[in-house]
Amino acid sequence: MASISMKKDRRVVNRHFSHDRDEDSRMASSRSSTSATGMIGTGLMGTGVMGTAVIGAGSLGRWLAAKMQASGNVVTLVTRPGSAAGPLSCQVKSLDGNLQRTLESAPATALPAGGFQRLFYCTKAKDLRDAAQETSHLLSPDGVAVLLSNGLGHVESLATAGMSRCLVASVTYGLCPDENGVVEERGTGGLVRVGPLSSECATPASVADAKLLSGLFQDAGLQSLATEDGDELIWKKAMLNAGLNPVCALLRQENGALPGTASFALSIEAAREVIQVAKEVGVDLSDIDPERLLVDLCQDTATNRCSTLQDLDRGQPTEMEWICGAVVRIAERFGIETPANRLLAKLVQDVEVASVAI
């Protein structure tokens, strides 16, 4: 079986697309327009929009918003219904130094309909469906929705909310808030991979959108790569989440410790089950070596506490229902047993109930 390493993906040279001069010129023109106007992707969007709205003011949302604003983009944080509008301070701590930005924030009801060319969905998995319904009106008629939330089953949530021009972005940077709310980049590596939300969305226009967004992430100082296959992106992310998150959370250990534990065998088995289930829905991950990818991810984010462990630390519900739980539910439709994912989902649920009850 061929091994595909996350380390190979760090090369931001896009091997998935053949470049032509017209496309390169269009992207260059769009970048120039971005610098001149302070708005993201005006080459795609035209004028009269406010830039990008980031839905979800958790660690991922604040980190991404701060990074994008620091590179010259107009960014607004969309907060929960009923929250007050106003400036919100966002701090990011990384190996390159500290970044502090002040961003405009407001609930969706206080923002103009059709006023944003991109919506970045950075919510917890349990909140995504409601968030999509509450914020879809903010997207301009030819705008792009970008899914960054963990878990499976979110494609339907965006479609139900009436959004058809959609991308998915998979983030492997280790992000952890400290006691003061400063978002720390933990580890030495990370990558943002971008693609069409699903095979049905994989049109030439959506592929071009993915390339442009990947370039904008690079402009913001992030390692990024565009791909044509969003289905593979979603399932590969689910595979890594299923293998790493529940086991690290149950062990209450940072990511880097996982490969050296006896429990890592359970991580590998859970990831293999995801590959098997993905094949049943038409996504072939058979060339992937799950053990290698998990080891690489643990090394790159060695000092990070995964999001599931962070949730347990705070006594909050986890996303296991949309990670291992979703794998189990999909597998059942095809008559497939997924004992590792079933066990991990149950164990985390038990700890979650005890943690929330404290």
Count Cβ atoms below 10 Å from residue 34 Cβ, excluding itself: 23
Give the pLDDT score at 186.
Answer: 94
CA–CA distance, 212 with 28 (Å, rounded to integer) = 10
Look at the block and give the residue holding tokens 């952890």. 176
Tell me the sheet residues that pair with 75.
Answer: 52
Pair 85, 107: CB distance under 8 Å: yes
Residue 258, CA distances (Å) to 245, 304, 328 in order: 10, 11, 23
Pair 250, 347: CB distance under 8 Å: yes
Name the E strands within 130-237. 139-147, 166-171, 174-177, 183-186, 192-196, 224-226
Per-residue pLDDT of the chain (358 residues; tens, 9 = 90+): 333 333 333 333 333 333 333 333 333 333 333 333 333 333 333 345 579 999 999 999 999 999 999 999 999 999 988 888 999 999 999 888 899 999 999 999 999 999 999 999 999 999 999 999 999 999 999 999 999 999 999 999 999 999 989 999 999 999 999 988 899 999 988 999 999 998 777 789 999 999 999 999 999 999 999 999 999 999 999 999 999 999 999 999 999 999 999 999 999 999 999 999 999 999 999 999 999 999 999 999 999 999 999 999 999 999 999 999 999 999 999 999 999 999 999 999 999 888 765 5
CA–CA distance, 249 with 241 (Å, rounded to integer) = 11
pLDDT tens for residues 19-34? 333 333 333 333 333 3
What radius of gyration, in Å, describes the C-alpha atoms of the chain?
19
Structural domains of the chain in order of their starting residue, each with its CATH number: 6-227 (3.40.50.720), 234-353 (1.10.1040.10)
CA–CA distance, 10 with 153 (Å, rounded to integer) = 27
Within 8 A by CB and 6+ apart from 24, the residues are none
CA–CA distance, 64 with 126 (Å, rounded to integer) = 20
In angstroms, how far is the first alpha carbon of the chain from the final one?
A: 46
Phi, psi of 39 (to 5 degrees): -120, 150
CA–CA distance, 211 with 53 (Å, rounded to integer) = 19
Q: Which of 274, 337, 290, 306 is nearest to 5 (CA)?
A: 290
Give the pLDDT score at 340.
Answer: 98
* DSSP states of 68-89: HHHTT--EEEEE-TTPPPEEEE
Within 8 A by CB and 6+ apart from 50, the residues are 39, 74, 76, 112, 115, 116, 117
Q: Is 117 helix (H, G, I), strand (E, B) or coil?
A: strand
Reported pTM: 0.84
Residue 48: exposed, middle, or buried by beta-carbon count in 10 A (0-12, 13-18, 19+)?
exposed
CA–CA distance, 193 with 354 (Å, rounded to integer) = 35
Q: Which of 192, 281, 287, 191 is nearest to 235 (CA)?
A: 281
Within 8 A by CB and 6+ apart from 71, the residues are 216, 219, 220, 221
Pair 318, 348: CB distance under 8 Å: yes
Q: Which of 112, 102, 113, 56 is nearest to 79 (CA)?
A: 56
